[in-house]
Amino acid sequence: MTESNAPEATERVLSTMNRDGSRRWLRPKLFVGSFYRRRVVLAWILIGLFTAIPYMRFRGKPLILLDIPAREFTLFGTTFLPTDSLLLMLLLLGLAVGIFLLTALFGRVWCGWACPQMVYLEFLYRPVERLTGGRSKWSKRLGMNRIGDGGRKTIRFVLYILFSFYLAHTFLAYFVGVEELSRWVRQSPFQHPMAFLVMVSTALLMLADFGYFREQVCIVACPYGRFQSVLLDRRSTIVGYDFNRGENRTSPKKLKTMAPDQAEKAGDCIDCAACVITCPTGIDIRDGLQMECIGCTQCIDACDSIMDRVGKPRGLIRYTSQDELDNADKKILRPRIIIYPAIMLLVFGLLIGALLGKDAADVTILRGIGAPFAQLPDGRISNQIRVKIVNRTDGDREYRIAVAGGDGLELVAPQNPLPVPAGTTRDTTMFVMCDPGVFDDGSLDVVVHLDDGADFSHDHPYRLLGPIGNGGGR
């Protein structure tokens, strides 16, 4: 048996992976400081907001509804239809540039303070884990230390399942609407087995995410961390370690045995590793800017608490920038801080202009399927036309359809006017009949007129087909 020539890893490739490739499980120790208290307040505001948004309405429509089966996205009272791909692209582009600007100014503040993955994991699931662990102060007050390990795990698992179903309902409300979701909840699962399966599957995915995969989402699955090299520059705000002040690291015990001249060279960092054991992604912030750092400030609170104990000033780990750590000149204005807002103004200006110029209805007129025209027993020529109307307004409308442009034109339709409920699409087939003598070289240009009797009027040019030559047959 030959020996493998594959190189062995000398250090961890990822902060959540051991050198042998196995999962490195993280159980970060909590240090309650000023930043953590602010994050708790913000997190619970966001949890309430994430839950309430599907119930909010603006201009009679849901604030946010991503109706994938119907291919309709409703955002802030505006419904984007499949024909609005350009508008949706402008909206997403504007939001993306907004994230770029936010990152350039404040670093990964979204990841560390507002991302739903972080909010629910750190302020819903991890507190349950600590409360049912039997070691924390609150866990002991609840008497968890008097319950066996199996009992604590059972309580934790039950709470995880309840939270996962709550998150599944909240998540699905963004895609099916609260009315449809309420109907699912009130009815028996046997009345809507597919919907029940979707609900259970979503809850299980939430349980797998927050109960097992956890920080791996940030490190492995989410691409945002990998964008840092593009989105950040050396003047962007980051959570950083002041190596000029912290090095050389010396523990208090070792400091007592050092000579005075050597003790003067010791840095403020006492190498206690508090910043490491509290990090939710398992990194050592003292190694510099890293992709895994989500800017959650847990290491700041941990380090500040240690500095208070040893009588040294706070701020060894703080909000800073790479240039500031290198003692470079501090510059607020830089190219991307000017370019990003300019792009946002341009994109959102185009979006607002396009929305303001959008008609109250979208009309599509197509030629009928089959023969281009037919000759009726009475000698007249019949053209089949398909009309599709999208009512973009918030009220039900009736659209009258007429044809003009030639003598003796007759329009026959199953319904005219055609009723179209608010925010829906209807199509109909109609026939335009005329004398064969009106055609010039087999065609006749006409205008199909539509109006709703209110604020919408539309003229659509259309070409009728017929026999070549006056009175000629097919």
H-assigned helices in 177-297: 178-186, 193-208, 216, 228-231, 243-246, 252-257, 260-264, 274-277
Residue 393 and residue 422 in contact, taking contact as beta carbons nearer than 8 Å: yes
Neighbour tally for 60: CB within 10 Å: 10
Residue 400 DSSP SS3: strand
> Residues 349, 354, 355, CA angle at the centre, nearest 5°?
100
Name the burial class of residue 185, with classes exposed (0-12), middle (13-18) and buried (19+) by CB atoms within 10 angstroms of its CB.
exposed
The domain locations on the chain are: 34-226, 230-325, 361-465
Task: Give the integer Cα–Cα distance in Å for 202 and 183.
Answer: 17
Sign of CA dihedral 87, 89, 92, 95: negative
Residue 114 DSSP SS3: helix
Residue whose entry in the numeric block shows the structure tokens 């039900």:
396
The pTM (predicted TM-score) of the whole model is 0.82
Q: From first to last of its 474 residues, what are the pLDDT tens digits of the chain? A: 445 555 555 566 788 888 888 888 999 999 999 999 999 999 999 999 999 999 999 888 899 999 988 888 888 888 888 878 888 899 999 998 998 888 888 888 999 999 999 999 999 999 999 888 766 777 777 777 778 888 889 999 999 999 999 999 999 999 999 999 999 888 888 888 988 999 999 999 999 999 999 999 999 888 887 777 678 888 888 999 999 999 888 888 887 777 777 777 788 999 999 999 999 999 999 999 888 999 999 999 999 999 999 999 999 999 999 888 988 776 777 888 899 999 999 999 999 998 888 888 889 898 988 888 998 998 899 999 999 998 888 788 999 999 988 788 889 998 888 899 887 889 899 999 998 888 888 888 899 999 988 888 889 999 998 888 655 444
Radius of gyration of the chain (CA): 33
CA 415 to chain centre: 42
Task: Give the integer Cα–Cα distance in Å for 462 and 444.
Answer: 8
Task: Give the integer Cα–Cα distance in Å for 392 and 398.
Answer: 13
φ, ψ of residue 274 in degrees (nearest 5): -60, -35
CATH architecture of 361-465: Sandwich (2.60)
Neighbour tally for 309: CB within 10 Å: 12
